[in-house]
Amino acid sequence: MTKVMLTLRVNGEAHTVAAEPHHTLLEVLREELALTGTKHGCELGECGACTVLLGGVPVLSCLTLPLQVGDAEILTVEGMAEGTQLHPLQTAFAEEGAAQCGYCTPGMLLSAKALLDANARPTRGEIAQAISGNLCRCTGYTAIYEAIENAAAKGGRDEVPAMKR
């Protein structure tokens, strides 16, 4: 099949790639841009591991064709930290043990980020709703709730990384 040229805006950078038009955003991110932080668990839209933010909104990259994306801003897990400054959600996930195997974590972080960006102090019910499309097989979700609540309580950027003694 003939490849098409695409320009995608990912994590604040513009990338021009040649890709098969039927390949999904997930495949293009992982295989053409080497952004392997975005995971796949089913490639059928069932597990949420491939969640990225498209214009701030969570989408399943395994069900999204890059041609649909246009010039909307794509955010993957690699773009969550600002330089060496981790996003408060990342710090909170570490502190609460919310990542066990880590495989659902990128998608979970992005769903959580979209939630907190829209709702600074969500209830536990709202958190459960927001991440209900992201399957986690390790944690039982408890630590994830705690991490999202922890990040929400801190608000804004995490000024003092918790790991420094």
Partner 1 sequence: MSDLSILGRRLPKVNAWAHLTGTARYADDIDLPRMLYGRLLRSTRPHARIVKIDESRALALPGVVAVVTGADMPEKMGIMPSTQDETALAVDKVRYVGEPVAAVAALDEDTAYEALSLIDVTYEDLEPIFTIEEALTRDDVKIHETSKRANVFKEVHLSFGDLEAGFARADHVREDWFFFEGNTHAPIESHACVASFEPVGPGGGPGGDGKLTLWTSTQVPHYLHRELEKVLGLPRSRIRVIATPNGGAFGGKSDPFGHEFSAALLAMRTKRPVKITLDREEVFYAHRGRHPVKMRIKTGVTTSGEITAVEFQSYLDGGAYASYGIATTYYTGALLTVTYRVPAYRFDGVRVYTNKPPCGPKRGHGTTQPRYAFECQLDKIAADLGLDPIEYRLRILQPANTRTVNDLRVTTMGLGECLAAVRNATGWTRKREELPRGRGIGVAGSAYISGAGLPIYWNEMPHSGAEIRIDRGGGVTVMCGTSEIGQGSDNMLAAVTAETLGIYPEDVHVVSGDTSLAPVDLGSYSSRVTMMAGNATKSAGLRLRAQLFEVASARLGVPAERLAAAYRRIYDQKDPEKAMTFVEAANLAEAKYGTLVAAGSYTPPAGIGGSYKGAGVGPTPAYSYQAAVAEVTVDLETGQLTVDKITTAHDCGRALNPTNAEGQVEGSAYMGYGEAVVEEQIFRGGLHKKPSLLDYKLPTSLDTPALQAILVETMDSEGPYGAKEAGEGPLNPVIPAIANAVFDAIGVRFDETPITTEKILDALGKRDNRGLPKDRIGPTGLSDGKGDPKRAMRRLHASTDAREKRR
Q: Which residues bind partner 1 (CB under 8 A)?
A: 20, 30-31, 34-44, 46-47, 49, 76-78, 80-81, 86, 90, 93-97, 99-106, 109, 127-129, 131-145, 162-163, 165
Phi then psi for 52, rounded to 5 degrees?
A: -130, 170
Residue with Cβ nearer partner 1 (70 or 150): 150
DSSP-derived secondary structure for 121-135: S--HHHHHHHTTTS-
Minimum CB–partner distance for residue 33 and partner 1 (Å) = 12
Minimum CB–partner distance for residue 106 and partner 1 (Å) = 5
Q: Which pair of tokens denotes residue 130?
A: 């927001």
Minimum CB–partner distance for residue 6 and partner 1 (Å) = 18
**d(C-alpha 152, C-alpha 165), whole Å:** 23
Contact 151, 116 (CB under 8 A): yes
Contact 161, 86 (CB under 8 A): yes
Residue with Cβ nearer partner 1 (77 or 116): 77
Residue with Cβ nearer partner 1 (43 or 70): 43
Residue with Cβ nearer partner 1 (9 or 97): 97
Minimum CB–partner distance for residue 8 and partner 1 (Å) = 17
Minimum CB–partner distance for residue 101 and partner 1 (Å) = 3
Contact 95, 151 (CB under 8 A): no
**d(C-alpha 86, C-alpha 103), whole Å:** 18
Residue with Cβ nearer partner 1 (70 or 102): 102
Phi then psi for 24, rounded to 5 degrees?
A: -80, 165
Residue 74: strand pairing partners: 10, 54
